[in-house]
């Protein structure tokens, strides 16, 4: 098996995990929120831990959404100026954009690890969840975004620069 095929399979596996985890988290949030509404308004006995679970899962969903948007190149971008440049200049600008995301992701991984270590000292108030489990979402997803940006740079220089997907012109 070639290295390219191996890395492609790993990438596809990670993408499936992220996609399924996002669906699972959204589903859990939906049903816990419905249960909370029913318990609070009909039975007058709210579920104490529901809001905290929803909030903690929402943090993960936000990071996974950022990863999915990075993977699909679906973040908003305005290309009115860039689309009028020659192909070589577009490659340089797109590469610089990827580089900025890489730098930000490296900082997020570094400080996310620190945040996870600090968060490991605390527990959620109503759930037996260590906050490290929530904070670890930052370094994990930013490392994946870092990898996506490296792949994007390779793609930019292998092929002619195309208009970014989801771009506003």
- Could you give the CA distance from residue 46 to residue 41 in angstroms, rounded to a whole number? 8
**pLDDT, averaged across the chain:** 90
Give the pLDDT of residue 147. Answer: 93
Structure confidence at residue 162 (pLDDT): 54
Distance in angstroms between the alpha carbons of the first and the last residue of the chain: 42
Q: What is the pLDDT of residue 125?
A: 92
pLDDT score at 158: 87
Per-residue model confidence as pLDDT tens digits over 106-117? 999 999 999 999
Q: Which residues of the chain have pLDDT under 50?
A: 165-169
Count of CA atoms in the C-beta half-sphere (13 A) of 88: 0
Contact 119, 131 (CB under 8 A): yes
Q: What is the extent of the structural domain holding 17?
A: 3-168
pTM: 0.84
Q: What pLDDT sits at residue 164?
A: 52
pLDDT tens sequence across 118-141 = 999 999 999 999 999 999 999 999
Helix, strand, or coil here: 79? coil
At 163 the pLDDT is 54
Please check whether residue 98 is in contact with residue 149, taking contact to mean a CB–CB distance below 8 angstroms.
yes
Name the one residue in this structure whose structure tokens are 């108030």: 125
Into how many domains does the chain fold? 1
Quote the CA–CA distance of 142 and 101 in Å, as a whole number. Answer: 9
């Amino acid at each position: 098996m070639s290295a390219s095929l191996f890395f492609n399979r790993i990438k596809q596996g990670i993408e499936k995990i992220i996609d399924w985890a996002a669906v699972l988290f959204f589903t859990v949030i939906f049903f816990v929120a419905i249960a909370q509404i029913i318990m609070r308004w009909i039975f007058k006995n709210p579920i104490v831990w529901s809001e905290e679970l929803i909030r903690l899962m929402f943090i993960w969903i936000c990071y996974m959404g950022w990863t999915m948007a990075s993977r699909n190149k679906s973040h908003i971008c305005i290309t009115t100026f860039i689309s009028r440049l020659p192909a070589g200049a577009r490659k340089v600008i797109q590469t610089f954009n990827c580089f900025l995301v890489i730098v930000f992701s490296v900082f997020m991984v570094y400080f996310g690890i620190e945040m996870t270590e600090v968060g490991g000292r605390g527990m959620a108030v109503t759930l037996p969840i260590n906050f490290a489990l929530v904070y670890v979402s930052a370094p994990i997803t930013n490392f994946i975004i870092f990898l996506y940006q490296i792949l994007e740079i390779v793609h930019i220089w292998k092929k002619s620069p195309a208009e970014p997907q989801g771009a506003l012109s």
